[in-house]
Structure 1
Amino acid sequence: MARRGPGGPASLAPCAAALLLALGVEAALAPPEICQECPGSVQNVSEVARYCKQTPALMLHARCCLNQKGTILGLDLQNCSLKDPGPHFPQALTAVIIDLQANPLKENLTDTFRGFTQLQTLVLPRDVKCPGGIKAWDNVTDGKENRTCLGQRNLCNDTRDPALCPENGSCAPNGPGLLQCVCADGFHGYKCMRQGSFPLPMFSGILGSATLAVSAALWGTQRRKAKAS
Structure 2
Amino acid sequence: MTARGDALLAAVAVSLMSVCLHAGFQQTGLQECHRCDGRLQDGSAVGNFCIASAGQVDGRCCLRHQGEQDRATIIGLDLSNCSLGNVEDLHEAITAVIIDLSANPIVNMSDSVFQGFTQLHSLRLPLPCQCPGGNESWETVEDIGSVCLCEGQRDACYSGGNMSWNCPENSLCGPYGPGLVQCSCSGDYHGYKCLRKGQFPMAEVLGILGASTIMVSGILWVTQRRKAKTV
- State whether TM-score is above 0.5: yes
- Which structure 1 residue ranges, 5 or more long, are not aligned? none
Q: How far 1:71 sits from its partner (Å)?
A: 0.7
Structure 1 residue 97 displacement after superposition: 0.5
Would you say the 8 A contact 1:122–1:149 is kept in 2?
yes
2:169 to 160, 167, 170: 167
1:41 equivalent among 39, 52, 62: 39
| In 1, Cα distance between equivalents of 2:101 and 2:137 | 18
Cα deviation code 1:146-165 (max 9, x no counterpart): 11100001132316358712
1:52-67 equivalences in 2 (<5 Å):
52-56=50-54, 58-67=55-64
Deviates more, 1:101-110 or 1:33-42: 101-110
Q: Higher strand share goes to which structure?
A: 2
Matched, 1:32 2:30: yes
1:124 counterpart = 2:122: no
CA deviation string 1:93-145 (max 9, x = no partner): 11101111122334565422111110000010111000011100000111222
Note the C-alpha offset of 1:172: 1.2
Q: Give the 3 Å change call, closer, same or farther, for CA 108–6 of structure 1 in structure 2.
A: closer
Q: Distance in 1 between matches of 2:16 and 2:201?
A: 44
Quote the offset at 1:227 in angstroms: 4.1
Aligned to 2:147: 146
Structure 2 CA distance, aligned partners of 1:212 and 1:24?
47
Q: Secondary structure at the match of 2:113?
A: helix
Q: Is the 8 A contact 1:63 1:75 kept in 2?
A: yes
Name the residue aligned to 1:105: 106
The change in CA–CA distance for 1:39 and 1:202 in structure 2 (over 3 A counts) is: farther
TM-score when scaled to structure 1?
0.79
TM-score calculated relative to the size of structure 2? 0.79
Instruction: Give SS of 1:111's match.
Output: coil
Amino acid of the structure 2 residue aligned with 1:139: T
Q: Tell me which of 176, 180, 183 is aligned to 2:182.
A: 180
Alignment: residue pair count: 222
Quote the Cα distance in structure 1 between the aligned partners of 2:39 and 2:165. Answer: 47
Measured after TM superposition, the shift of residue 82 of structure 1 is 2.5
8 Å contact kept, 1:29–1:70: no
- Other-structure match for 1:114: 115
Between the aligned residues of both structures, percent identity stands at 43
**2:77 is matched by which residue type in structure 1?**
L
Which secondary structure does the structure 2 equivalent of 1:175 belong to? coil
Cα deviation code 1:7-32 (max 9, x no counterpart): 388x77x959x859956993896342
TM-superposed deviation, 1:77: 1.6
Contact preservation (8 Å) 1:40, 1:63: yes
Matched residue type, 1:196: G
C-alpha RMSD of the superposition:
3.3
Give, in whole Å, the separation in 1 of the partners of 2:78 and 2:163.
Answer: 37
**Structure 1 pair 36/191, CA: closer, same or farther in 2 (3 Å)?**
same
Which residue does 1:199 correspond to in 2?
A: 201
> 5+ unaligned residues in a row in structure 2: which ranges?
66-70
One-letter amino acid of the counterpart of residue 42, structure 1: L
